[in-house]
Amino acid sequence: MIRNSLNFVVSLIVNNRKIIGTTHDTEIVKNIKNKWSRCWGKVRVSKENAKDVKIFRAIRKKDFLKFGGFDPRYGYADDQTFWFKYKIKPHIAENTICYHRNPENLKGVFKQSRWIGASIENKLLNIQILKYFIPIFLIILSPIMIPILAVRKAYKINDLEILIPWMIIFMAARYFGSIFGVSRNIYLGINYR
């Protein structure tokens, strides 16, 4: 039985003082009929990988303020602040669904990927001299990486029908959006939209 997700994730916090925050156990894409949204995949979080979710969908206000709220330096992943900083994971509200809307055009795909790319935390990006060459290296690899990533993503979402041409075009927008975001973070220190 699927519960009223919003009420349930909040009630868990209200009724149990030990729970700081909660998250859903399933996240489904609502606008899956759009070809660009479809390329992201239909299910963002499944019951099988819910235990790996570090995103807080509801959090006790006093704890949110006590820990200083979401940290903007995490950019796209700011809703995972409590995991990154304090290793606090949200309590999974079983049998709850969160609906998500993916970008529906290539400009949106690029911008979302740019934001995600700018927020990437990678040990290679901490090596001063090396990090400046990463965007250039990724651009050089793009003719090889884009088709490989497109095929891999089509298999992952079990939708080979969308592979040619949509997934390849989608993956090019994601790939270059991510490179642009990584570059903005490295060269300008920008990790937001």
This prediction's pTM: 0.87
More confident residue, 126 or 34: 34
The reported pLDDT for the residue numbered 174 is 97
The reported pLDDT for the residue numbered 184 is 93
Span 5-14, mean pLDDT?
87
Average per-residue pLDDT for the chain: 91
67 has pLDDT over 90: yes
Percent of the chain clearing pLDDT 70 (strictly above): 98
Percent of the chain clearing pLDDT 90 (strictly above): 73
The reported pLDDT for the residue numbered 3 is 57
1 confidence band (pLDDT: 50, 70, 90): very low
pLDDT in tens, 26-61: 999 999 999 999 999 999 898 899 899 899 999 999
Span 59-80, mean pLDDT?
92
**DSSP line for the chain:** ----HHHHHHHHHHH-TT--EEEEEEEEES-TTSHHHHHH-SEEE-TTTGGG----SEE-HHHHHHTTS--GGGGGGGGGHHHHHH-PPPEEEEEEEEEE----SHHHHHHHHHHHHHT---GGGGSHHHHTTHHHHHHHHHHHHHHHHHHHHHHHTT-GGGIIIIIHHHHHHHHHHHHHHHHIIIII-----
pLDDT in tens, 92-110: 999 888 999 999 999 999 9
2 has pLDDT over 70: no
pLDDT in tens, 127-170: 888 889 999 999 999 999 999 999 999 999 999 999 999 999 99
